[in-house]
Structure 1
Amino acid sequence: MRPAPGGAAWGFQFARHPMDDKALQEAVAQAVERLSDGAPVAASVAGGVVTLTGAVQDEMRRTVIEQELLRLPEVLDVRNHLHVAAPVGDLRTQLRILLETHDVDAGGIVIEEADGALTLSGTATGWFDRDAAERLAWTLPGVASVTNRIVLPPGAVEPDDGSAGLPS
């Protein structure tokens, strides 16, 4: 739970004048305009609770807007109804290009896409390529979710097996 505005949770109060909903609505609108990067995002305020609607380009932007609004002193809660906009172009092709650009060996990786949801499967040459494929997939505009089912070849070193890649 978020601490009460003004420091009351820590036993002291700042002398301040609370904003009314109109002033808070203006502060929220300015923050949303700055953070949304031109995406069609609407925000309404009632009793210190902000409700967001509209579409953003990726999950990161959706989360950043919510977290930054929670930093405003009079915002008590954010109801985030933003959705990730449909992708522009073929996400599979975009991800293949991105993997190649970052020198990820993706020859054995299969990419499936449905409505912005990516599923990665197949076999990666090593842990780095498996992890990088998922991380890079999340960076694409229009990606709403990523499921990583990529497996490693027999004998591949798992990052938490303690061997650090050294023979037994």
Structure 2
Amino acid sequence: MTDRQLQEHVQNALDWEPSIDAADIGVSVDNGVVTLRGDVKTYAEKAAAEHVALAVYGVKAVANDINVRLGTGLERSDTDIAQAVVSALRWSSMVPDEKIAVVVTNGWVTLSGQVDWEYQRSASARTVRDLTGVRGVTNAIAVVPHASAPDVRQKIEAALKRSAEVDARRINVTAADGKVVLSGNVHSWFERDQARRAAWSAPGVTQVDDRIAIVP
């Protein structure tokens, strides 16, 4: 697939997604690497555009240079945003809100603290990004499990073999002291993401070094 064809596919995917106003989003492609530029009215739209682009077959990586220009009536003070973030985290059943600190500066939310699992870290950012007035999110939460598992590699390999969306034969796994290294190659970003999710789901994992190459 040529870069021009991939550019057209990504633009069509953005136009097809109802949660995104793609009228002001431009797409460029260089050797399979997609760059998104333009303006959107919310941070949720910016995040959604990146997710849509990554899901297009043939995309190797995405540089998200979209600007968030809050629409009319969407401006909020940092105090209002901070209160909304704290409340949203408290109401999420997947987030240990008592372990998370929140700082808001000019609409940009920074989350910090320590949690036991990657899914808790990811859920924290997802909970915040859709709130009105948020211009961006920095997720500085660290994953620090209470216990480590000596058979992390075997657990991850077993999870990959169970997955219908990942060809486990193409992925190599090494693990030591909570750090997991994934290498090999897959056909799409989605398959790579599923492998990374499987690695993060293993108990005792504190870091995942994703070296998997995308070879459409």
TM-score using structure 1 length: 0.56
Q: Tell me which protein shows more strand as a share of its residues.
A: 2
Q: Tell me which protein shows more helix as a share of its residues.
A: 2
Moved over 4 A (4+): 99-107, 130-135
Deviates more, 1:49-58 or 1:65-74: 65-74
Contact 1:134 1:148 survives alignment (8 Å) = no
| TM-fit CA distance, 1:28 | 0.4
Residue by residue over 1:97-148, the C-alpha shift from the partner in whole angstroms, topping out at 9 and shown as x without a partner, is 53565599979x86432343213579xxxx9xx9776653243353521445
Separation of aligned partners in 1, 2:81 and 2:172: 47
Q: Which of 135, 159, 162 is the matching residue for 1:98?
A: 159
Identity %: 27
Separation of aligned partners in 2, 1:78 and 1:121: 29
Contact 2:94 2:120 survives alignment (8 Å) = yes
Contact 1:32 1:43 survives alignment (8 Å) = no
Q: Which of 127, 131, 134 is the matching residue for 1:75?
A: 134
Contact 1:25 1:45 survives alignment (8 Å) = yes
Which structure 2 residue ranges, 5 or more long, are not aligned?
1-65
Answer yes or no: is 1:38 the counterpart of 2:96. Answer: yes
Q: Secondary structure at the match of 1:74?
A: coil
Which structure 1 residue ranges, 5 or more long, are not aligned?
8-12, 150-158, 161-168
| TM-fit CA distance, 1:93 | 4.1
Q: Which of 172, 176, 182 is the matching residue for 1:114?
A: 176
Q: Which of 141, 145, 149 is the matching residue for 2:208?
A: 145
Name the CA shift for 1:3/1:73 in 2 (closer, same or farther; >3 Å): same
Name the CA shift for 1:85/1:121 in 2 (closer, same or farther; >3 Å): same
Radius of gyration: which is bigger? 1
Separation of aligned partners in 2, 1:29 and 1:43: 7
Separation of aligned partners in 2, 1:32 and 1:44: 13
Contact 1:35 1:65 survives alignment (8 Å) = no
Q: Which letter does structure 2 place at the counterpart of 1:137? A: A
